[in-house]
Amino acid sequence: MKAKKNSSKKKSHPFWQWFWLTFLVVSLWYAWYSFYVPTPTTIFIDPKGKVIDYAVGKVRKTKFLEMLKIKKGFQINKKQ
């Protein structure tokens, strides 16, 4: 009986080892790329839908307010 059990457990073909290893690497790369690589895009539009300005990447608060002030003519009230 032991001889029959051992003969049924063959080592997998090298193609399948390569296939699953490649599948694992590509899957991990795709997950990393999908979740960590995309950069945010901030878009300012007017009420008609026309693009006024945009910024790619992280926009800090000062840059955001500066973009609003320059493009839309907003006045920023500073507390004294």
Cα(72)–Cα(17) distance, rounded to whole angstroms?
Answer: 59
Residue spans of the domains in the chain: they are 11-36, 41-72
Residue 43 carries which DSSP code?
A: E
Q: Which tens digit of pLDDT belongs to each residue from 10-54?
A: 788 999 999 999 999 999 999 988 887 767 888 888 888 888 788
CB 68 within 8 A of CB 43: no
- pTM of the predicted structure, to 2 decimals: 0.40
